[in-house]
Chains A and B, each alone.
Chain A
Amino acid sequence: MVNYSDDPKWADITPIPQDDGGPHPLAAIAYSDEYSEAMGYLRAVMAKEEHSERVLDLTEHIIEMNPAHYTVWLYRAKTLKELNFDLKTEIEWLNPAALKHLKNYQIWHHRQTIISQLNDPAGETDFIDTMLGPDSKNYHVWSYRQWLVKQFGLWKGEEGQKELDWVDGMIGDDVRNNSAWNHRWFVVFGCGEENIRDEAIVNREMGYAKAAIHKAPQNQSPWNYLHGIIRGSKTALSSLKDFALQFASLENPDDVHSSHALDLLAMIYAQDEDTKEKARQAFDLLANKYDPVRKPYWNYRKETLVN
């Protein structure tokens, strides 16, 4: 156990003891002596705004005991900056900690602060790969990757192609991984306006989504992606009619392979006065047979068809 009170290095500091609030605090934690002492010294150095090497040691010690402590992370980040500390060393220290505490907000934000100051993303994408191994939909990891792509322009040129190949691999591993689809959107359309106006890119991405739909027609991720492209590029919805008919048609109401195809057909039929009745049929089929948990929603859509 690390002991501060007997350490001459810390002799000049008077720790500030814990106060949980009044004589009978609620949800109080019976801290270990080690944690309690370390926190007492942290409160004291924070009060005198000390930023030093020993503060780095102290914050490291507390983070080992409680990685979910945002105060310690923020104070450590500030200390690193004040000391002009070698940030590569910090990242090396951070890597095993991040793997141990996957769902921790602080670690990712700290990493973002450090990489931002280093102004160099080298090695980061490989590290993210490792992190997604045990949890391929981890929200923090994906959000961090999006920050990285944006911050360092990794959606453009050769880097952009590498990013696209990587996310293609993620979708290939699990075509239902919606986080990967969202990232693909971010890389292709989320960083600038130009790609959604580029017909070749729009066609390529629509083809990509359609191919994925063929693999598993009831998987909503590529359908949402397809709808996003249609909306963004202002392509006529009706251009998808033949595609949708491959998975559902009102002529064969017992042979529907995708409720999402039926939904799309309903949208297309709703656009034209002559086919409004068909839209109603599609909504009925969804409400009563293929997607009854959303019956109130399908009925709402039916009722709000503009006459």
Chain B
Amino acid sequence: MSASSSAATSQAQSQTQSQTSRASSRLEDILAEPPSPRIETLDSEEEEYEDVMEDPIPAQSQSPSLESQFSGLKLFDIPIHDTLETETSIVQEETLDTILPYLEGNPNKFDLNSHGIPHLQRKKHVKFLEIALGEYPAQFAAMDASRPWLLYWSLQGLTALGEDVSAYRERIVYTFQSCQHPTGGFGGGHGQLPHLAGSYASILSLVIVGTPLAYTSIHRRAMWHYLGHMKQPSGGFTMAANGEEDIRGAFCAMVILSLLNLPLELPSDAPARKKGMTGFLDGLGEWIGRCQSYEGGISAAPGNEAHGAYAFCGLACLCILGAPATTLPKYLDMDLLIHWLSSRQCAPEGGYNGRTNKLVDGCYSHWIGSCWSLVEAAVSGKKKEQMRSLWDRNALARYILSAAQSKKGGLIDKPGKRPDAYHTCYNLAGLSAVQNRYYYDAEEEEDGGVKISDEDGEKGEMTTTLDASFKWKVELGKGVGKERVWDDEDQVNVVHPVFIVPWGQAEKCRQYFEENPGF
């Protein structure tokens, strides 16, 4: 597969400033585990925050020249407006008042592109993420269990911005060595219990590094045993031994099995074997299907509320099991799913929320935006010319570039919020979903997805075929035609639609373990 176009970026000069890390981590109630509290003590952040809040920008204050630049980008009207006030509508109105000035004008005084939208503030974001990789003061102890996440978000964000992260290679491998548990899997840090979230973030980071040293630092056999312990009789996975069972577990486990080319048979010591399970995939698709709620979206576990981050986990998991056009309709009501996904795009904001009647948040640029890459491939024909477009990419691009870039670098939930590595990574991944057109190359499809052997594999004969996610193709920069609202220089490096790592890196890792399958 072709590599992505490399965006023009210079190796940022080394930042020798003192370690006033402003990468507070706001994981909220989504994929990340565990959620770190926002830490309120860092002065630089307070300044940042006040800067944003102090800028006096009345809603209609842009200069005449700006107005004409914006003329082609009229905001969506919201013609229907209920009069009943409730907590939800009050908070929504307040939020809109905060966001609108950023969509109608340019309070951050960023350079504008040829469409009157702020350019991607590449250098500022790079600087922000480099600081996020640095040392943290003692108040950040709450992030002790989330260090693998900080590394993954920062590295993925940097590569999306076109940075070469090879200078970090060895340090990354050593850092994750300290998180790897002797019984398999990665924890949040030294001596911490293995956890699927930490394992996911660790493996993806090592995939981004992409060297034999990084690959061989992973104890694959131990990982396979650890994953075996996470498999549940329901078909799903827990995040840790005696931990919670939710759809993140299923997704993280499939990502790891697929990238590391691990056997799909459960190890003999997997507790689920006592309940009649023999393979990692047993009951999995059905379990994910049970997570689709009456609204059409996907929830953390059966019965919970449909939620954008869990929707991506569910869809990406199904895309690892097989071709999207096969596995998605097999386990999900597609019409209902698409209706719900579509409803997540907020007007006039253009960005996405994660649940019905919740607020827009830049992180859903990825959690929902990347769902579209998978769903569009599932409902389109087999040729790239038949690719359907189901959502307004320009509206999301405008939200990200106008409202989700922090003045001093890093990306955010919404204006007034602080930047963090999490929102930076996922806004940029959302931008990749906006700017590129992904399709699933069914030509490469042989048997329509997963093959599972009927009998338990004999020693040495175990094979895996979780290779569906390596058949994606991308048309670079073709997300929107001529009418797009960004310039070439605002383009991010393309991200793999399922694994959320730089294009080519997942394939490279898989290939390494296909050539070196033993463990």
Interaction A to B:
yes
| Residues on A facing B (Cβ under 8 Å) | 16, 18-32, 35, 39, 42-43, 46-47, 65-71, 74-75, 77-78, 101, 103-106, 109, 112-113, 136-140, 142-143, 146, 150, 173-179, 181-182, 185-186, 189-191, 215-221, 224-225, 227-228, 231-232, 256-259, 289-297, 300
A74 to B187 alpha-carbon distance, docked (Å) = 13
Whether A27 and B145, one on each chain, are in contact in the complex, defined by CB atoms closer than 8 angstroms, is: no
A295 to B140 alpha-carbon distance, docked (Å) = 44
Of A25, A65, A112, A174, the most chain B CB neighbours within 10 A belong to A25
- Is B498's CB within 8 Å of the partner chain A? no
Question: Which residues 152-181 of B sit at the A interface, judged by CB distance below 8 A?
Answer: 154, 168, 170-179
Which candidate, B260-268, B294-302, B428-436, is the interface stretch facing chain A?
B294-302
Task: List 22 A-B residue pairs with CB atoms under 8 Å apart, sorted by A's residue number.
Answer: A20-B189, A22-B177, A26-B133, A26-B134, A27-B133, A29-B147, A35-B138, A39-B191, A68-B37, A69-B34, A70-B34, A71-B191, A74-B242, A139-B300, A143-B301, A143-B305, A178-B305, A191-B303, A215-B84, A216-B82, A297-B390, A297-B391
Closest to A27 in B: B150
Whether B136 and A28, one on each chain, are in contact in the complex, defined by CB atoms closer than 8 angstroms, is: yes
Of A77, A106, A225, A297, the most chain B CB neighbours within 10 A belong to A297
A189 to B303 alpha-carbon distance, docked (Å) = 10
Per DSSP, chain A at the interface is helix
Partner of A216, one of B84, B137, B175: B84
Whether B244 and A109, one on each chain, are in contact in the complex, defined by CB atoms closer than 8 angstroms, is: yes
Whether A29 and B138, one on each chain, are in contact in the complex, defined by CB atoms closer than 8 angstroms, is: yes
Which residues of chain B are within 8 angstroms of A27 by Cβ–Cβ distance?
A: 132-136, 147, 150-151, 154, 175
| Residues on B facing A (Cβ under 8 Å) | 28-29, 33-37, 76-77, 79-82, 84, 86-89, 132-138, 140-147, 150-151, 154, 168, 170-179, 187-193, 195, 240-244, 293-296, 300-301, 303-307, 338, 342-343, 345-348, 350, 355-358, 388-392, 395
Whether A293 and B135, one on each chain, are in contact in the complex, defined by CB atoms closer than 8 angstroms, is: no
Closest to A18 in B: B190
Whether B193 and A66, one on each chain, are in contact in the complex, defined by CB atoms closer than 8 angstroms, is: no
Whether A109 and B189, one on each chain, are in contact in the complex, defined by CB atoms closer than 8 angstroms, is: no
A32 to B195 alpha-carbon distance, docked (Å) = 25
4 closest Cβ pairs, A-B complex: A22-B174, A228-B294, A21-B178, A176-B88
Of A21, A27, A189, the most chain B CB neighbours within 10 A belong to A27
A186 to B79 alpha-carbon distance, docked (Å) = 33
Which residues of chain A are within 8 angstroms of B175 by Cβ–Cβ distance?
A: 20-22, 25-27
Whether B35 and A177, one on each chain, are in contact in the complex, defined by CB atoms closer than 8 angstroms, is: no
Whether A26 and B172, one on each chain, are in contact in the complex, defined by CB atoms closer than 8 angstroms, is: yes
Of A42, A69, A181, the most chain B CB neighbours within 10 A belong to A69
Whether A190 and B303, one on each chain, are in contact in the complex, defined by CB atoms closer than 8 angstroms, is: yes
Partner of A290, one of B79, B88, B145, B295: B79
A39 to B189 alpha-carbon distance, docked (Å) = 11
Closest to A135 in B: B29
Per DSSP, chain B at the interface is loop
Whether B80 and A256, one on each chain, are in contact in the complex, defined by CB atoms closer than 8 angstroms, is: yes
Which residues of chain B are within 8 angstroms of A101 by Cβ–Cβ distance?
A: 37
A295 to B179 alpha-carbon distance, docked (Å) = 47
Which residues of chain B are within 8 angstroms of A178 by Cβ–Cβ distance?
A: 305, 355-358
Closest to A17 in B: B190
Which residues of chain B are within 8 angstroms of A31 by Cβ–Cβ distance?
A: 138, 141, 144
Whether A103 and B28, one on each chain, are in contact in the complex, defined by CB atoms closer than 8 angstroms, is: yes
Whether A65 and B304, one on each chain, are in contact in the complex, defined by CB atoms closer than 8 angstroms, is: no
Whether B356 and A220, one on each chain, are in contact in the complex, defined by CB atoms closer than 8 angstroms, is: yes
Whether B300 and A143, one on each chain, are in contact in the complex, defined by CB atoms closer than 8 angstroms, is: yes
How far is the CB of A204 from the nearest CB of chain B, in Å? 17
Partner of A71, one of B132, B145, B343: B145
Which residues of chain B are within 8 angstroms of A18 by Cβ–Cβ distance?
A: 189-191
Whether A109 and B243, one on each chain, are in contact in the complex, defined by CB atoms closer than 8 angstroms, is: yes
**Additional pairs, 4, CB under 8 Å, beyond known A32-B141, A68-B145:** A27-B154, A70-B145, A224-B356, A290-B80
